[in-house]
Amino acid sequence: MHSAITISLVPEARGGPFVFWGDLAAGCQQAASFGFDAVEIFLRSAAELDAGRIKRSLEQHHLKLAAMGTGAGWLVHKLRLTDPDPALRRRAREFIASIIDLAGGFGAPAIIGSMQGRWGEDVSRDQALGWLTEAFEELAPRAQTHGVPLLFEPLNRYETNLINNVEDSLVFLEGLRAQNIRLLCDLFHMNIEETSIADALRRAGARLDHVHFADSNRQAVGLGHTDTAPLVEALRDINYTGYLSAEILPLPDSDTAAEQTITSFRKWFSKS
């Protein structure tokens, strides 16, 4: 298993669950100084980030890119894959495709979480799922050209009414032709939505490809009330070898959140 920590380059996301803010080079330097293996980047758009700059920051600090988030597509640009307007749905797919290409150049996947949107008003759940299916069938082959999966993240009920848990995610993914869509399980969302987080991780099984490593209160693991031991056991049982990425609030401050995360990571996943 590998450790990762989040860097947000999106001013509009202030107050959101990201540890380092605003400066890619400084974030990478910090991540490396705490001993993380990788960074996960939350960006405004692919056009606003230069691949050469990412490469230099990663190489200088011997870091990998764990993943890139696409949520700014919704947060900043008000795009979602299930918008009733076909032109906006197309722009949402293009926004994600450009992030797939940018991340894919580093061997990393893009994450689709908030961009799933929601159903309601004039859009039925079936219709929204139909549009989400079309989007995934188009975007997954794009990820495949880079040899990476596309990550799907179920979110808690306060962020979407479409897909909130592992079981519904698996039903959705199993209905798709595309085979390279993998699950991102965010322990914060799971704490709200799953009956048992450990059972849900086991159910995700081989489909699991990324974990957002957070405690019950979305702080660093160890600062909330999640019982971590059964989750670690479940991850071991399914032979999970991917990233545990701290998508958490920078509380009480970024450095303490990073330090607490790497301490927890080493406590639970040390090789000895």
Cite the active site residues.
153, 247
Q: Which stretch binds ligand LER (CB under 6 A): 26-34, 138-146, 152-160, 234-242?
A: 152-160
Closest separation in Å from C-beta 97 to ligand LER: 16
Residue 155 binds to ligand LER (criterion: CB under 6 A): yes
Total residues at the site for Mn ion (CB under 5 A)?
Answer: 3
The reply on whether position 37 binds ligand LER by CB under 6 A is no
Considering the rule CB under 6 A, would residue 187 count as an interface residue with ligand LER? no
Output the residue with the shortest Cβ distance to ligand LER: 113
Min. distance of Cβ 134 from Mn ion in angstroms?
24
Least Å distance, CB 212 to Mn ion, is 4
Residue 37 near which of ligand LER, Mn ion, none (CB within 5-8 Å, type-dependent): none
Is 52 or 158 the residue whose CB approaches Mn ion more closely? Answer: 158
Q: 159 touches which of ligand LER, Mn ion, none (CB within 5 to 8 A by kind)? A: ligand LER
> Rounded to an integer, what distance in angstroms lies between the CA atom of residue 88 and that of residue 92?
6
Minimum CB distance to ligand LER smaller for 10 or for 232: 10
Instruction: Give, as ranges, the residues between 159 and 198 that touch Mn ion (CB under 5 A).
Output: 186
154 contacts ligand LER (rule: CB under 6 A): no
**Interface residue with ligand LER, options 34, 97, 169, 186 (CB under 6 A):** 186
Map the chain to HEC letters.
CEEEEEEECCHHHCCCCCCEECCHHHHHHHHHHHCCCEEEEECCCHHHCCHHHHHHHHHHCCCEEEEEECCHHHHCCCCCCCCCCHHHHHHHHHHHHHHHHHHHCCCCCEEECHHHCCCECCECHHHHHHHHHHHHHHHHHHHHHCCCCEEECCCCCCCCCCCCCHHHHHHHHHCCCCCCEEEEEEHHHHHHHCCCHHHHHHHHHHHEEEEECCCCCCCCCCCCCCCHHHHHHHHHHCCCCCEEEECCCCCCCHHHHHHHHHHHHHHHHCCC
- Contact residues for ligand LER (CB under 6 A)? 69, 71, 111, 113-114, 153, 155, 159, 186, 212, 247
